[in-house]
Amino acid sequence: MSARDRETVEALARVAAALDGAVLGLGTAALAVVSLAKYLAASGALRRIAEAPEVAIPDLRYSLLAGLGEGESRLAVVRGLVRSPPWGKFLIPPGSREHCVVAKHTQTCLFGEWRGIFGWTFDLHALFFKSLKEQTITSFRWVPFALVDPASASDKSTEMIHVKLDGAVQQSLPLTTVYHKLIPVEQNSYTLFQTIVGNGYPIALLDEEKILPIGKEITAIGLCRVNNQNVEITSCPEIPFFLSDLTKGEIEAELDSRARTLFWVTFALGTMSVGLLGHAIYRFWEKVKQHREARQAQQRFHQADDEDDTGENGSDDDFPGEMGDGQLCVICLRKRRKAAFVPCGHLVCCCNCAKRVELMNEPLCPVCRQDIQYMLRVYDS
């Protein structure tokens, strides 16, 4: 590797070393931005929910939606009982056989702990993978449904609010677990294979049924509009709640605590990233300065040495016999010591040997084996 290549590699290594703090700082800054976005979303949603009026279902049409044009909608909070509309259908899931409007059937594979041949458990595995269950949703069905006022519980289609679930299936729904059954897995050659190869063995299959039963009282927060004589509610994309067991006040309290946590997380991450980035910039600047100083000192050394060679050449050609051992170069044992290494400060080499040391892959002081940053030409008169 030539001296120039080496210099380039060293410079790159220095940049990389200075960047590790910067990468950490940038990572933290990115997390802070994500957390800030979440905080803004949560506080925005909180503000919108706080502003949304809580309206009784029979009053919706005449108070909130009076005077609204076709296709226009307003955000509102309603609370009512789940009903299927007069002409509507309801579901009867096979497990519980309870009448409902949303039915979700999941199967979870439960794994036993692998105790190994010697009877001890893998602690690390238990820490990370014990909770790992393979879950598969085998079916998710829903039918159009509506909410009715808990006081009047009228079954007239015009006094209900029809829930449009289509866009909100991904959101959490206030489902109740009504049925679960543990089916033991039969031991066969496949489970034996898994026991040997994998870190756990399947012991059972958990069959679960969750439903939104007819008659349950829930809260809906969303956009209300009149469509074909019926009042409808759809989920509002900016609000992380649509249907919930909680009341409006409880939802606000939950969002408020979420927003507060996010605020402090954002604040901590932001402060940390500013500190890390500042430190990385400072370190990088220090390294650049150090590098520049070293290069300047090196140039001065070479210049001084060239002047020696061209000028009064005599000083380098001292006779070894005239000098004590303490003045002779420890490498060639022929010339006077004139090059001091920085930072260790050892003055043990003549200029030529010092230059040879400098050209080595890792320039180290021949006495103390410390890294050499640069060399100084020493004059004794």
Residues that bind Zn ion (CB under 5 A): 329, 331-332, 335, 344, 346, 350, 353, 365, 367-368
Q: Smaller CB distance to Zn ion: residue 189 or 361?
A: 361
Q: How far apart are CA 29 and CA 203, in angstroms?
A: 45
59 near 149, Cβ under 8 Å? no
Considering beta carbons, is residue 68 or 333 the nearer one to Zn ion? 333
The rounded distance, in Å, linking the Cα atoms of 16 and 29 is 19
* 186 touches 123 (CB < 8 A): no
Place of tokens 């709640």: 241
Structure tokens at 269: 């991450």
- Closest to Zn ion by CB, 105 vs 335, is 335
> CB 295 → Zn ion: shortest distance, Å?
21
Nearest-angstrom CA–CA distance, 97 and 78? 28
Report helix, strand or coil for 139.
strand
For residues 350 and 324, the answer to whether their CB atoms sit within 8 Å is no
Residue closer to Zn ion (CB basis): 223 or 340: 340
Alpha carbon of 230 to those of 34, 40, 68, 147, 163: distances in Å?
Answer: 40, 34, 14, 12, 11
Report, in Å, the least distance between residue 355 CB and Zn ion.
Answer: 10
Q: Can you point out the beta strands (E) in the chain?
A: 74-83, 100-113, 134-142, 145-148, 161-164, 176-184, 200-213, 217-227, 230-234, 243-244, 339-342, 347-349, 374-377
Determine phi and psi for 353, rounding to 5 degrees: -65, -35
**CA atoms of 71 and 227, how far apart (whole Å):** 8
- Min CB(370)–Zn ion separation in Å: 5
Nearer to Zn ion, 55 or 365 (CB): 365
Q: CB neighbours (10 Å) of residue 72?
A: 11
CA distance 315 to 266: 67
- By DSSP bridging, strand 339-342 and strand 374-377 are antiparallel
Task: Give the nearest distance from C-beta 292 to Zn ion in angstroms.
Answer: 23
Q: How far is the CB of 261 from Zn ion (least distance, A)?
A: 55
- Closer by beta carbon to Zn ion, 30 or else 333: 333
Q: Looking at beta carbons only, is 125 or 346 nearer to Zn ion?
A: 346
Compare residues 269 and 340 and give the one whose CB is closer to Zn ion.
Answer: 340
Task: For Zn ion, give the closer residue by CB, 91 or 349.
Answer: 349
For residues 164 and 346, which CB has a smaller minimum distance to Zn ion in the complex? 346
- Residue 260 in 3-state DSSP? helix
Q: Which of 183, 173, 180, 179 is nearest to 141 (CA)?
A: 173
